[in-house]
Amino acid sequence: MTDMRRGFHGLSAQVQTVLERQPLSGHVFGFRGRRGDIV
């Protein structure tokens, strides 16, 4: 679950810090809103 207000740059920074991955590495990262109605 993540704050979807972060936008692309905030979500890519989260991938780098939390998952220790590069956002443009070819992996697919999925993010889900708090209510589960936004992916």
Question: In this structure, is the dihedral angle defined by the CA atoms of residues 34, 37, 38 and 39, taken in order, positive or negative?
Answer: positive
pLDDT, position 1: 63
What tokens does 19 get?
């998952």
Q: Is 14 within 8 Å of 2 (Cβ atoms)?
A: yes
Taking only the tens place, the pLDDT of each residue in 1-39 is: 677 788 888 888 888 988 888 888 888 888 887 787 777
Specify the number of domains making up the chain.
Answer: 1
Q: What is the pLDDT of residue 11?
A: 85
pLDDT at position 4: 75
| Euclidean distance between CA atoms 19 and 5, whole angstroms | 19
- Reading the block at residue 24, the tokens are 């443009």
Q: SS3 of 14, please? A: helix
Full residue range of the structural domain in which residue 9 is found: 1-39
